[in-house]
Amino acid sequence: MTSYVAGIDIGSTMTKVVILKDGLITSIIGPTGPEQRRLANKVMEEALKKASLPFSEIMYIVSTGYGRMNVPFSDRQITEITCHARGVNYLIPEARTIIDIGGQDSKGIKIDRSGKVLDFVMNDKCAAGSGRFIEVIADTLGISLKDVGELSLQSRNPAKISNICTIWAQQEVAASLAQGVKISDLLAGVHFSLAERIGRMVSRLKIEKAIVVTGGGGRNKGLLHALSEVLGERLTVPEEPLITGALGAALIAREIVEESKKNRIDLKTKERRLEEVEIL
């Protein structure tokens, strides 16, 4: 019998779904947004459509990420730290350190060859070490988020951004802009500032190679360049860095299904109903 499993990763900014069947992966990425946090079902529906599957075919669902508690149809919640470890290990078995740069926080995760978490660090309850920092600055400069990476790579003389606080850094950038500092230099400076902050945090783990970058940060070439310079190491990025958490969740779901088949125990699952989440 074919069995489908799914992982859903509700991040602060993006919601990611991965549906697994044997080795085949279907994935979908949609915004979480302030309103959509209760609409985890919408992203799930899209993923099901893409995989041409009815919801009832999914045997087991693991939710992860910041909003993992807000998924009424998930059978189990597992943190994104454990899920990224599993997902990255599946895609890049030689990975030993993961740097996940998300919308509202960033993490460093050390893993062994089997994808088990050995240690981890997270940034301090503040957006300063996260993708949000770049979002705010891009907004200040009036530049689309998807262009900031490329643009920053044109810089020959990165500006020095001394403020760590996102709001103050925003003011600093605005002031520098008024003084005529080039946008590419400002962006490069912002990326270096963020890279240094993340690098300092991750270095507490005693980094081992290979280093893999996941999350939205993995899509930003300027940030990757700065982080690689700061760490003095080569960085690897999965083809789609956003889905490793959801993939890991799906892999864990598959393992749970297989485990229950092997031991002939009933799978404890929730009633299969896709609906909006009721939150305050």
Binding residues for another protein, per CB under 8 A?
66, 78-82, 116-120, 122, 124-125
- Record the tokens describing residue 227, joined without a space: 């982080």
Q: How far is the CB of 207 from another protein (least distance, A)?
A: 17
Residue indicated by tokens 């998924």: 71
Residue indicated by tokens 């991965």: 18
Nearer to another protein among residue 118 and residue 175 (C-beta)? 118
Nearer to another protein among residue 147 and residue 259 (C-beta)? 259
Q: How far is the CB of 151 from another protein (least distance, A)?
A: 33
Closest Cα partner for 247 from 57, 14, 62, 104? 62
Q: How far is the CB of 108 from another protein (least distance, A)?
A: 12
Closest Cα partner for 55 from 65, 42, 68? 42
Nearer to another protein among residue 120 and residue 133 (C-beta)? 120
Question: What letters, b where the CB count within 10 A reaches 16 and e where it falls short, cover 13-52?
Answer: bbbbbbbbbeeebbbbbbebeeebbbbbbebbeebbeebe
Nearer to another protein among residue 12 and residue 26 (C-beta)? 12
Q: How far is the CB of 107 from another protein (least distance, A)?
A: 9
- Record the tokens describing residue 166, joined without a space: 């996102």
